[in-house]
Amino acid sequence: MRNIIAISLLLLSAFVNADTTPVEKLQAFIARAKNLQADFTQTSLDEAGKAMQTSQGEFYLQQPGKFRWNYIQPYAQQIVSKDGKVWFYDADLEQLIIKKIDDSIGDTPALLLSGSVDLNETYTISLESEEGNILWLKLTPKNTDSSFKYILVGLKGDMLYGMELSDNFGQLTQIIFSNITIPKSLAPDTFEFIAPEGTDVFEG
């Protein structure tokens, strides 16, 4: 199913002082990510760094453990998480896959910023680089069975800038966020999903 690699994601503002370490900045950032919405552009690249597909859509986050990716272009897809489950919906295929959040997907970027993951327990965190005013942190999964080699998280000032995900098949996925807002609350039905009539539903 297309774009499942990006099941992933999330962000928020963190007001920190100049003496804060990069890891502390990321931890503070996640600690403050209670409600969030943003637009995103996702680009998938092959092993040679050639862009294979670019997608655009909307992202919503609510702690703990709720997120929603609405892919709008070029294909209509939705990824929704709540109550320990994830819904993957592909409008073109008229197919819905429902999975429990367990060890098989629990260490992916999908939950990295959702307040449901102990970063120090799950990842080895290091400073990757500082490019201009963008700070990049590298998170390497401690679970050797993880489907990801590493995740880069970019912080621009007091906001999340982007993420870069490298999987074990040589594919790289880059996500850049824009129009980020931090509302006091999100509508309760933001994280609900009702399959359209005629959808093939698979649950496991």
Q: Lowest-pLDDT range, 17-26, 59-68, 162-171?
A: 17-26
Q: pLDDT tens digit string along 38-66? A: 999 999 988 777 888 999 999 999 988 88
- Is 139 exposed, middle or buried, given 0-12, 13-18 or 19+ CB atoms closer than 10 A? buried
- Closest alpha carbon to 142 in 161, 117, 169: 117
Q: Where are the domains of the chain?
A: 4-203
Question: Could you tell me the two tokens for 151?
Answer: 């995740």
Q: pLDDT tens digit string along 64-84? A: 888 999 999 999 999 998 888
- Is 203 exposed, middle or buried, given 0-12, 13-18 or 19+ CB atoms closer than 10 A? exposed
Q: Which amino acid is at 106?
A: G
CATH number belonging to the domain at 4-203, selected among 3.10.580.10, 2.60.40.10, 2.50.20.10, 3.30.460.20? 2.50.20.10
What are all long-range contacts of 71-76, with beta carbons under 8 Å and residues at least 24 apart?
71/3, 75/2, 75/3
- Closest alpha carbon to 55 in 43, 38, 67, 65: 43
